[in-house]
Amino acid sequence: MPFHSLGLDPSLVRAATEKGYLAPTAIQVEAIPAILQGRDLLGAARTGSGKTAAFSLPLLQRLAAAGRQAPRRLQVLVLVPTRELAAQVGESMRSLAQHLPVPVRIAVAFGGVSINPQMMALRGGADIMVATPGRLLDLLDHRALRLSSVSTLVLDEADRLFDLGFAEELGRILALLPERRQNLLFSATFPPAIQSLAERLLRDPVRVEVEGEPAGEPPAIQQRAIEVDAGRRTQLLRQLVKGSGWTRVLVFVATKHGAEVVADKLRRAGVEAEPFHGVLSQGKRTQVLADFKASRVQVVVATDLAARGIDVAQLPVVVNYDLPRSAVDYVHRIGRTGRAGETGVAVSFVSADSEAHFRLIEKRQGLNVPRERVAGFEPVEAPPPAPAGEPGTGGIKGKRPSKKDKLRALQAGAGTPKPER
Ligand code: AMP
pLDDT tens digit string along 121-138? 999 999 999 999 999 999
Domains 3-209 and 221-372 equal at CATH topology level: yes
**Per-residue confidence at 114, pLDDT binned at 50, 70, 90?**
very high
88 lines ligand 1 (CB under 6 A): no
340 lines ligand 1 (CB under 6 A): yes
337 lines ligand 1 (CB under 6 A): no
Distance of CA 267 from the midpoint of ligand 1 (Å): 31
152 lines ligand 1 (CB under 6 A): no
- Domain covering 221-372, topology: Rossmann fold (3.40.50)
Contact 249, 395 (CB under 8 A): no
Averaged pLDDT score across all residues of the chain: 85
Its pTM stands at 0.58
Distance of CA 47 from the midpoint of ligand 1 (Å): 9
Where are the chain's structural domains? 3-209, 221-372
Q: What is the pLDDT of residues 246-300, one digit of tens each?
A: 888 999 999 999 999 999 999 999 999 999 998 888 888 888 988 998 889 999 9
Note if the bond before 385 is cis, omega within 30 degrees: no
Integer Cα distance of 286 and 305 in angstroms = 15
81 lines ligand 1 (CB under 6 A): no
Among the four given CATH numbers 3.40.50.300, 1.10.760.10, 3.20.20.150, 3.40.50.620, the one describing domain 3-209: 3.40.50.300
The pLDDT of residue 221: 78
**Per-residue confidence at 153, pLDDT binned at 50, 70, 90?**
very high
105-112 contact pairs (CB < 8 A, 24+): 105/72, 106/130, 107/131, 107/145, 109/135, 109/136, 109/139, 110/82, 110/83, 110/86, 110/135, 111/83, 111/135, 111/138, 112/83, 112/282
Q: Is the pLDDT of residue 417 over 50?
A: no
Distance of CA 340 from the midpoint of ligand 1 (Å): 5
The pLDDT of residue 217: 43
Q: Is the pLDDT of residue 371 over 50?
A: yes
List the residue whose alpha carbon is closest to atom 1 of ligand 1: 50
Average pLDDT over residues 336-356: 82
Q: Is the pLDDT of residue 213 over 70?
A: no
Distance of CA 48 from the midpoint of ligand 1 (Å): 6
**Per-residue confidence at 395, pLDDT binned at 50, 70, 90?**
very low
Distance of CA 19 from the midpoint of ligand 1 (Å): 9
Distance of CA 117 from the midpoint of ligand 1 (Å): 29
Q: What is the pLDDT of residues 41-85, one digit of tens each?
A: 999 987 778 999 999 999 999 999 988 877 889 999 999 998 889
